[in-house]
Amino acid sequence: MALQLSRLILLALFCFAPLVAQAVDLQRLQAMHEFRSQGYTAATYLLIDNNLYEKIREPENRIRYNEALSNMDAALRTLGMPAELSALKANLQLTIRELEGQPEEEAHFNLSTVNRIMQIHGQLDRMAESEYAGMTEGAPAELLTLHAQSLEISQILLLYQNNMFSSVGVYFMDNEDGMFTMLDNRITERAGELRKLFPDLQARLERLDKQYDFIRPRLLKYYEDWVPSMAAFYLQRNTRILDELSREQVRVSSLAQG
């Protein structure tokens, strides 16, 4: 009897183990997504902070990018401090501190340091993107779609900020003609996919669409009138909500597996 009971317990544990592993994998997937998402937030507010066309240097910008850097560290801890990502993130932060120590009256010369920071961010994001791709097997379509929408909104925002600097390159994606239109088409198309995937969230998703539609003309005609802080306000709000929804999706999936 005792032997039979032991076998039943072992069988139950054997069946339950893959479910636990999948729940952990989803948490790691979410952490890698948020590492990338916070990286874009840091890069966005760093560019706004160093935008020579902004008449007033708002302290809030440094607060925002430093918060994002701290959030990246938290994501790395969840991921177990992977060596290459951790080293590159440390280099990113070190170079940002170097920039902060440079005199403001030499702001034009400081743009070479800004360019180095954006190079490091691009390298870091591409590495994280590769790691993320290796984690997606078996992940729910709902979660992956939320992640993709969040990241491409972050990318169109960073591209918008990037275009205000003639001496700072685009390193987080291949720089080619029609990038704004390409990203915009994917974002608007995926918004329809999200409404189909989440019929119970129609009102919330419609609010996201309205916020994107409000700033969208500025993104597509970026060369007419620059509004860096306004663009960040609306698009960062969208990415925060999408990341909240993806965290909730991970919790729901984990509870279903438990």
**pTM for the whole structure:** 0.89
Q: Classify residue 201 by its DSSP letter.
A: G
Mind listing the pLDDT tens digit of every residue in the chain (258 residues)? 544 544 433 333 333 434 444 555 999 999 999 999 999 999 999 999 999 877 678 899 999 999 999 999 999 999 999 999 999 999 999 999 999 999 877 767 789 999 999 999 999 999 999 999 999 999 999 999 999 999 999 999 999 999 999 899 999 999 888 999 999 999 999 999 999 999 999 999 999 999 999 999 999 988 888 899 999 999 999 999 999 999 999 998 877 765
CB 22 within 8 A of CB 139: no
Q: What is the DSSP letter of 57?
A: -
Tokens 């390193």 sit at which residue? 171
CA dist., res. 201 & res. 29, Å (int): 23
Q: Give the residue extent of every domain in the chain.
A: 29-257
